[in-house]
Amino acid sequence: MPTLLGKEIGSTGFGLMRLTWRITPLPQEQAFEAMKTALNHGMNFWVGGTFYGKPEYNSLVLLERYFAKYPEDADKVVISIKGGTNDVGKEPDGSPEATRRSLDKAIAQLNGRKKIDIFEFARRDPNVPLKTTFEVLEKEYVQTGKIGGIGLSEVRAETIHEAVKLTKIVAVEAELSIFSRETLEHGVADACAQYDIPLVAYSPMGRGFLSGKFKTPEDVKKFSPEIAHWPWFEPGNWEANLNLVQRIEQMARAKGATPAQFAISWTKRVPSWRKGAPKTIIPIPGSTGPARVAENAVDVEITDDEMKQLDELIAKTPRAGPRYPDDIPFDT
């Protein structure tokens, strides 16, 4: 089993974003049911964000209420929280003042129910030196025991190489799926392997594409309206990507697995398949219903031949469209 900060966690984690960051946030009790199901299936590494939803109902508020109802679960779960954004445009702000404000608010929202195990800036602030930000995080929050450790999110390889010289990095969160392999191609995975840093793979189901629930553009608008205008779903890109997904679905069905199970298991298979990959990759799928959460917890054995088939498939018909729209920073 993988470990984070010396604590054993399940091989699959749980992303909290979709519980609160949506046009219509999930009702609290329904969110609790999904969280409880995740924990019951060994998915005890949870990743949330200060900006995942409005301040009055974001990941921290949800977690505080959950641990108020289930205090016995607090020590069973390892949580990683993304923050470090300003209060106006949600832009990254790594200044000492903003760093303290983000951390203090997050800690206060948890109301003593649970310690933040890992804190990570959602994006690197290009206007503030990493050293300035990390000095505050390390000296005022890690060394004083207010948080457990520091993670990185959506960074380029150069940022990892720079960061490890300044502080201990306990995890790097990056997008990784059969659909999105940039992490493996642009040096991020190699840097994690070099420093023995666990890689936390967000969107292992390709933002829902690899779950099998998107059959038409209307399905995207129904299930994930927040991203329905993103590049993958634009005319031309949509048709190419759907064809790719259908090929992957065929491989999953041949194994008696769902596309989601197949996609999530692929990320966990990468360390033993790709030379130079980090030894630990932890996918963090997010789902809102207990049945889907339980489905995502099922591991599927993927053979070397199948990994090779997938490599060849992506080489011939790569995903169409960039990962993000132009107005969202990435590889920071």
pTM over 0.75: yes
Task: Please give the pLDDT value at position 88.
Answer: 55
The reply to whether 70 belongs to the active site is no
Could you give the C-alpha distances from 74 to 12, 55, 64, 185, in angstroms and in order?
A: 18, 22, 10, 37
| Mean pLDDT score across all residues of the chain | 93
Distance between CA atoms of 31 and 34, rounded to whole angstroms? 5
Task: Please give the pLDDT value at position 227.
Answer: 87
Among residues 52, 57, 66, 141, the one annotated as catalytic is 52
For 211-247, letters b (16+ CB in 10 Å) and e give: bbbbeeeeebeebbeebbebbbbbeebbeebbebbee
pLDDT tens across the length of the chain (332 residues):
899 999 999 999 999 999 998 888 889 999 999 999 999 999 999 999 998 888 899 999 999 999 999 999 999 999 999 998 876 557 899 999 999 999 999 999 999 999 999 999 999 999 999 999 999 999 999 999 999 999 999 999 999 999 999 999 999 999 999 989 999 999 999 999 999 999 999 999 999 889 888 888 888 888 888 888 999 999 999 999 999 999 999 999 999 999 999 999 999 999 999 988 999 999 999 999 999 999 999 999 999 999 999 999 999 988 999 998 888 888 89
Q: Which of 146, 220, 160, 154 is nearest to 190 (CA)?
A: 160
What is the chain's Cα-based Rg? 19
CATH number of 3-207+263-300: 3.20.20.100
